[in-house]
Amino acid sequence: MSTHPVPSRVQEGSPNPITTMHAWRETWMQAKNDPDAFWLAEAHARVHWRTPPTEGLRGSYHTVGDGPFSWFADGRLNVTETCLDANLGTRADKVAILWEGDTPGENRTLTYAELAAEVNKAASALVSLGVQKGERVIIYMGMVPEAAIAMLACARVGAVHSVVFGGFSAEALRDRIRDCDARVVITQDEGLRGQRTIPLKATADEAVQGEKGVTHQLVYRRTGADVTMVAGRDVWWHDVVETASADFEAVECAAEDPLFILYTSGSTGRPKGVVHTCGGYITYASYTHQTVFDLREDDVYACVADVGWITGHTYIVYGPLANGATTLMFESTPLYPDAGRYWDMVERHGITIFYTAPTAIRALAAMGDDFVTRADRSTLRVLGTVGEPINPEAWEWYYTVVGASRCTIVDTWWQTETGGIMITPVAPATPVAPGAATLPLPGIQPVLVNADNQVLHGPVSGHLCMEHPWPGQARTVWGDHPRYVSTYFSTYPGRYFTGDGCRRDASGYHWITGRVDDVLNVSGHRMGTAELESALVSADSVAEAAVVGYPHPIKGQGVYAYIVLQPGVDIGDSVEVWQKALNGVVRTRIGAVARVDKFQVVPGLPKTRSGKVMRRILRKVAEGDVSRLGDVSTLADPSVVDAIISGAGLSG
């Protein structure tokens, strides 16, 4: 399958345009041989610096235990000057944010000039609420332009934002507020998705109850619902932002000052606050957004993620705005009012680049082609996918039905920690293959290693690691640098371990096979098994819980929970009620994003004599494949396995 034939017109500002495989190869080698020169050139060309950096990388994966490595450390900037001010010369009247609300055709546009003014007003308001440079601000909102304005306003004052996805519960929100010690929470009365309201303010109220550290909530009115406003603490956006000054001098930051914290799930413990810094992140967001999607000046670019995830940060807000693009923000769901919503939007707005997740593609493919073909999609040029491996059937449907076999598909592999896209086709250059993330971008050096940290060569499968830092890489875990070091740099010393497995074929293409750690990927959302287990064992009826993933036709992975009941508990005929109650606990602890799909009550968990749960066995049973369970002789009680197998309705 080949890529589209139209030659690219890469915008000015890229010293390293990639429009052919030859250019990719040359650029990749150049970046490998001299990463500092490569990234400094990109940083200088793309970013509006107050003081341009002279220094590239300082530090390495070998010294990360002594402290974070840095990029461009002597540079000074405010990232919003790249995203806003730098566009006011030639793009003041160009639409920066094109918003589509929950109801089809409910639109708002903000030009670059309007967005800059709004961000300044919001920045003025934050300062009037006492927010200072370096302080953390939590943003708990739906997909309204004010969410992006809030992020940029924080960046404008040098504050560190942490966006919490609106599907997280009050408890999860409180954990994050505490972890980063935020004083201000920006929220809205309610979110709105598919005519369903999400009580954001009420949830935020519950989260901040008794939290002495939170001095203010800034509340945007979206639906007009009646919400409680606590005098002295809660202020309306329309009272303090709309009346604030549109003149605001951006606060100068060091390149390595934190820009934002984003919490993400790992194998163990609570979610980690992944920290991204100003200069490196904005360089990488701009570089990848332009290069991968082959961005052109008149593109209408639509990424339908949520700003609560890294995809929303990098590819709805920072990357597109740094590149002066028109970026769509979508409030609703792909199924409202019907399964044709995305493609109707493509027609109405003339979308040229469309970026979504495999789970949405699979769900929509199952609804039939008519929802797609009824819309005019002739403007589409590049289709992107992210978040999980895309199965070849879904890829083919995206390519032939949505893209009418005319568009390039970029299957972009990356992570919260990587800041931006890492392994991907480059739209105008890379020949694609259904299901392959293909090749690394310039400046990215993936390797596959075995358990002994030996680099594997040729066509092979292994654990995916990176050999060399890049500017967009997360620098630390908020408040816990040792956790950053142990999570990412201890399994394979001297390398960054991604947590993913990967197969490389004879042509050097990368096929990501999924997580090799205890992280689940459900509908493109990362979920830690440890978080789910700790929620489940907090229920009175549960003594022990072990959670694994299993293949799910739409979600990619479903959540399978093995439960050992407390002695004396008998759920008898009320299985459904009991399961519902457990999912209620999960919802309270984590949020509506998390849900167990299948429960199995077991007499015990398969543990080694040292007490470690053998998840391999549990995964096999959940997958319905007990043919090769492997060695169970190290189990403390091998009979448990037979009980689990027969309980699952399988035979060994």
At closest approach, how far in Å is the CB of 438 from ligand WTA? 10
Return the residue of 82, 415, 491, 529 that touches ligand WTA, per CB under 6 A: 415
- Tokens 């590239």, located at residue: 56
Closest residue to bound ligand WTA by CB: 416
Residue 320 CB, shortest distance to ligand WTA, in Å, is 16
Which residue from 150, 386, 426, 448 is in contact with ligand WTA, where contact means CB under 6 A? 386
Q: Which is nearer to ligand WTA, 192 or 305 (CB)?
A: 305
Helix axes 639-647, 615-623, angle to 10 degrees: 20
CB of 314 to ligand WTA, least distance (A): 8
Least Å distance, CB 228 to ligand WTA, is 33
Q: How far apart are CA 547 and CA 600, in angstroms?
A: 10
Applying CB under 6 A, the span of 281-289, 406-414, 558-566, 625-633 interacting with ligand WTA comes to 406-414
Q: Does 411 engage in binding with ligand WTA (CB under 6 A)?
A: yes
CA–CA separation, 652 and 649 (whole Å): 10
> Which of 71, 140, 399, 413 lies at the binding interface for ligand WTA (CB under 6 A)?
413
Q: Which is nearer to ligand WTA, 180 or 361 (CB)?
A: 361
Assess contact for 291 and 323: CB atoms under 8 A: no
Find the radius of gyration of the CA atoms of the chain.
Answer: 24
349 has which bridge partners? none
Question: Cβ of residue 91: shortest distance to ligand WTA, in angstroms?
Answer: 27
Bridge partners of 161, per DSSP, are: 137, 260
CA distances from 646 to 70, 596, 622, 623, 652 (A): 54, 21, 12, 14, 8
Q: Are strands 353-356 and 300-303 parallel, antiparallel or unpaired?
A: parallel
Please report which residue ranges of 408-540 form alpha helices under DSSP H: 481-489, 529-537
If binding is defined by CB under 6 A, does position 416 make contact with ligand WTA?
Answer: yes
Q: Residue 334 interacts with ligand WTA (CB under 6 A)? A: no
Cβ atoms of residues 228 and 210 within 8 Å: no
- Kindly report whether the peptide bond that precedes residue 425 is cis, defined as omega within 30 degrees of 0: no
Length of the chain equals 652
Shortest spacing between CB 439 and ligand WTA, in angstroms: 13
311 in contact with ligand WTA (CB under 6 A) = yes
User: Which residues, 483 to 502, sit near ligand WTA by CB under 6 A?
Assistant: 498-500
Least spacing, CB of residue 589 vs ligand WTA, in Å: 20
CB closer to ligand WTA, 116 vs 364: 364
557 binds ligand WTA (CB under 6 A): no
- Of residues 49 and 413, the one with the C-beta less far from ligand WTA: 413
* Cβ contacts of 578-583, under 8 Å, gap ≥ 24: 578/541, 581/539, 582/536, 582/539, 582/541, 582/542
Kindly state the helix (H) or strand (E) to which residue 136 belongs, with its residue range. Answer: strand 136-140
| In the complex, least distance from residue 424 CB atom to ligand WTA, rounded to whole angstroms | 7
Nearer Cβ to ligand WTA, position 389 or 462?
Answer: 389
Q: Considering only residues 356, 408, 521, 529, which one is a binding residue for ligand WTA as defined by CB under 6 A?
A: 521
In the sheet that 49-51 helps form, which strands lie side by side, from edge to edge?
A: 49-51, 76-77, 253-254
Task: Quote the least distance from Cβ 415 to ligand WTA, whole Å.
Answer: 4
13-42 residues in contact with ligand WTA (CB under 6 A) are none
How many whole angstroms separate alpha carbon 203 and alpha carbon 170? 5
Out of 42, 146, 234, 388, name the contact with ligand WTA by CB under 6 A.
388
Size of the site for ligand WTA (CB under 6 A): 23
Under the binding rule (CB under 6 A), the answer on residue 273 touching ligand WTA is no
CB of 579 to ligand WTA, least distance (A): 27
Q: Is there binding between residue 414 and ligand WTA (CB under 6 A)?
A: yes
Closer CB to ligand WTA, 172 or 184, in the complex:
172
Regarding 526 and contact with ligand WTA (CB under 6 A), the answer is: yes
* 458 contact partners, CB below 8 Å, separation of at least 6: 504, 506
Please state, in angstroms and rounded to a whole number, the distance separating the CA atoms of residues 91 and 568: 69
Tokens, residue 628: 């090769």
Phi, psi (degrees; rounded to nearest 5) at 561 = -115, 125
**Both ends of the chain: CA-CA distance in Å?**
42
Nearest distance from C-beta of residue 440 to ligand WTA, angstroms: 13
Separation between Cα atoms, residue 162 and residue 143, nearest integer Å: 15
Residue 306 lies near ligand WTA (rule: CB under 6 A): no
Q: Which region, left, alpha or beta, applies to residue 605 given φ > 0 means left and ψ of -120 to 50 means alpha?
A: beta
264 binds ligand WTA (CB under 6 A): yes
> With binding defined as CB under 6 A, does residue 299 bind ligand WTA?
no
Q: What single-letter amino acid sits at 97? A: I
| Minimum CB distance to ligand WTA, residue 462 (Å) | 15
Q: Write the CB contacts of 286 (distance below 8 Å, at least 6 apart in sequence).
A: 42, 46, 47, 82, 318, 319, 322, 323
> Residue 442 interacts with ligand WTA (CB under 6 A)?
no
Half-sphere exposure of 577 (CA within 13 A, CB side): 5
How near is the Cβ of 315 to ligand WTA at its closest, in Å? 9
Stretch touching ligand WTA by CB under 6 A, among 57-65, 451-459, 508-516, 609-617: 508-516
Choose, by CB under 6 A, the member of 147, 380, 401, 437 that binds ligand WTA. Answer: 437
Q: Does 515 bind ligand WTA (CB under 6 A)?
A: yes
Report the interface residues with ligand WTA, using CB under 6 A.
264, 309-311, 386-389, 411-416, 437, 498-500, 512, 514-515, 521, 526
